[in-house]
Chain A
Amino acid sequence: MEVIIYGIVNGMTFVLMAIGFSFVYGISRLPNFAHGALYVVTGFITWSFINNAGLPYLLSIIFSLIIVTLAGTAIYQFVMIRVRGMPISEIIVSFAIALAILEGLRLQGIGGFKGFIGPGYVLPRFMDGVLETSGVTIDFQRLFIIGFGLILLFLMWLFTHYSKIGLSLRAMAQNERAALMLGINSDFMANIALGIGSALAGLAAIVIMPLGNVNCESGYSVLTTAIAVCVIGGLGSWMGTILAGLILGIATTIMSAIGGTMWNNVLIFGLIILILIVRPSGLFGKQKELEERV
């Protein structure tokens, strides 16, 4: 029982981490390797707003989300737009941005900047307290992750199915040239997609980070987790991301209950290789088979 509940929490964490990456890739075919960096940046900005500027928690969350969204659109507008369609350059440029951000946060002693190093950076939990049901203890923050994840997924579904921008985004994802012909500005839409993707990364950070502390290393692990989930679920597929996230979460929780944390990564590794052998486009991959597999 405990394993299942914690597995679902874990799975929802994975889904939240991966959904932004999957969203951007699904719509604009841009691999946003700066995803993990944006995740970490949100945590630090929120922390600074609370502790340096003395703003209330909710307000600093809103401010940092706005800043991260703007950062995402700026990355597209000034950098990614020039290399779109060249896979090598896309990966390298976005990863270089990620590295510059993550290592830049650790800079010390330039203009009195201290650098975000050490365990002192902790975001407060939304609500303290624990819930006990049928012998399982679970704290409110983890419950909140499940609830928030479900609401977010539902809202995203509403947005992409019933709003004008969401519909244009889906049109772009299906066939960019046809969308262009129908008067959808593809650069503008890709820009919006990257903005929303960054906001999703930020939201994930705000919900997940109170469970641990904020550090730069988590940027890399979030990125690898997001990629692993997307590869297993099928790059750019919504259902695939959700399903793969939940499967991975439950499977890793079971694995660490049986064998220890070392087996988590072995499991992820094994699953990826297995999926690539059996179904290279992932569980729900809708890319044309020929484009990725010969």
Chain B
Amino acid sequence: MFETLRGEELKNQERRKERLDRGIKARTEGLYAIQSWREVLYLIAPRASLIVGLLILPLVLPGLYWQRVLALAGVYALLAVSFDFLAERVGLVCIGGAFMIGVGGYISGALNYYLKLPIFLTIPIGTFGGALLCTLLWLPCLPLRGIYFAVVTFMFPFLTTSIILAGNLFEGTEGLSPIVGFPNIWIGIYLIIFILLLSIFGLRRLCGEDIGVVFSGIKDNDQAVLASAINITRIKVYALYIGSMIGCFSGAFVAHFSGFVGVSLFAVDFSIMPIAACIMGGPGTLAGPALGALILSPLSELLRGFGQLRVVLYCLVLIGFILFKPEGLLNWISRKYHQTEHWVKV
């Protein structure tokens, strides 16, 4: 019925784009995928390119400066993955990423500064203890949904900052310095890359498990989940703990990587940049936000010379993506990878 034509011939007529799955995609969906190298490669290539790319990246980067930028990009990527998991998989729009960073950073920094604990103890304590603290503080907000939850979590970093400044806690504006750094920059970089890969693939696996189905149920229709006699607040607590664990780890990492803990950890950058990365990379894909962060944060580093202009620029990027390309980069790429498209006459 539909006549397949080339785009130019159809310019002036009624036309629409038809998308079809590639044959190889249909073939690789079952167990039969393992019967030929081509199909195995088709399945492995996207995952392997992410892993290999991230592992090689620190080696090919020129100089210490860009390696530090990469580590910071890893922090933003972790936050973006955490935001994506909470917002798109569980339906908890938590825009207080800076709060997780701050809590994790302050806990591990203070342990190192006051008690002189070694780095391999402070980071785990900062991660697990910080996640516990975040979850406890956000526990009263958990019955809230959508925008209400977002609005409340948004205020936490601001209020904490003003409490720390007004009460002169943890040395106030001066901050805690010095904090012991990593013995070697390679350890730092590969630690964050390893954790990033672990959380991307771990969360993907988690969302495929039984509890992942409950997560998406809570996102789409929590009444139905409640009707199945599942305590949704408890499930949300699990999700929040997992999400803030990732955030608090990046906080502890930032504290040790920069050798400094101060109220700048609660800066609004840590809340807004991961969201920008998530929107740009493709919401709901988990790997997409990491990709977005790895693109956006070196970009904003290049613009550092322009001062405040870079914040303005990435806000404009964010608005542009939301308005004109809401699906994000990774969804677009995977569509090109899995499907063919052509114009047909209506």
Contacts and interface: CB of A to CB of B under 8 A. Distances in A.
A and B interact physically = yes
Interface of A: 31, 79, 82-83, 87-93, 95-97, 99-100, 103-104, 106-108, 110, 115, 220-221, 224, 227-228, 230-231, 235, 260-262, 264-266, 268-269, 272-273, 276-277, 280, 290-294
Contact of B147 (A91, A100, A106, A265): A91
Contacts of B308: 103-104, 106-108, 115
A214 to B, nearest CB: 17
A28 to B, nearest CB: 12
A92 B148 CA distance: 14
A264 B147 contact: no
Contacts of A83: 322-323
B86 to A, nearest CB: 11
**Most B-side CB within 10 Å, residue of A88, A235, A260, A269:** A88
Nearest to A266: B163
Nearest to A117: B308
B293 interface: no
Nearest to B87: A88
Contacts of A277: 140
14 contacts: A79-B319, A89-B322, A91-B95, A93-B319, A97-B315, A97-B319, A107-B312, A108-B307, A221-B158, A227-B154, A260-B166, A269-B163, A280-B143, A293-B145
Contacts of A107: 307-309, 312
A99 B268 contact: yes
B158 A87 contact: no
Contact of B166 (A82, A91, A97, A265): A265
B312 A104 contact: yes
Nearest to A33: B154
B290 to A, nearest CB: 18
A271 to B, nearest CB: 11
Contacts of A276: 140-141, 143-144, 152
Interface string B272-306: 10011001000100000000000000000000000
B322 A92 contact: yes
B7 to A, nearest CB: 27
A220 B140 CA distance: 24
Contacts of B223: 290, 294
A104 B222 CA distance: 41
B145 A227 contact: no
Contacts of A88: 87, 93, 150, 283
Contacts of A265: 159, 162-163, 166
Nearest to B166: A262
A221 B152 CA distance: 14
Main secondary structure of the interface of B (DSSP, over half): helix
A99 B147 contact: no
A97 B272 CA distance: 12
B166 A264 contact: yes
Contact of B311 (A82, A90, A103, A266): A103
Main secondary structure of the interface of A (DSSP, over half): helix
A267 to B, nearest CB: 10
Interface of B: 87, 93, 95, 137, 140-141, 143-148, 150-152, 154-155, 158-159, 162-163, 166-167, 222-223, 226, 232, 268, 272, 275-276, 279, 283, 307-309, 311-312, 315-316, 318-319, 322-323, 326
Contact of B144 (A82, A230, A262, A280): A280
B150 A91 contact: yes
Contacts of A91: 93, 95, 147, 150-151, 154
Contacts of B319: 79, 93, 96-97, 100
Nearest to B95: A91
A228 B319 CA distance: 26
Contact of A103 (B143, B148, B312): B312
A220 B315 CA distance: 16
Given A92-B322, A292-B143, A293-B143, 8 more contacts: A93-B322, A95-B95, A97-B315, A99-B312, A110-B309, A227-B155, A262-B167, A266-B163
B158 A224 contact: yes
A283 to B, nearest CB: 15
Given A91-B93, A107-B309, A224 B163 contact: no
A269 B159 contact: yes
A231 B163 contact: no
B315 A292 contact: no
A270 to B, nearest CB: 10
Nearest to A277: B140
**Most B-side CB within 10 Å, residue of A79, A92, A97, A221:** A92
Contacts of B323: 79, 82-83, 93
**Most A-side CB within 10 Å, residue of B268, B283, B308, B326:** B308
B133 to A, nearest CB: 14
A226 B199 CA distance: 36
Contact of A31 (B140, B151, B222, B268): B151
Contact of A99 (B144, B151, B162, B315): B315
Nearest to B307: A108
A110 B222 CA distance: 51
A231 B151 contact: yes
A277 B142 CA distance: 10
Contacts of B146: 87, 292
A235 B162 CA distance: 24
Contacts of A264: 162, 166
B5 to A, nearest CB: 32
Contacts of B159: 224, 265, 268-269
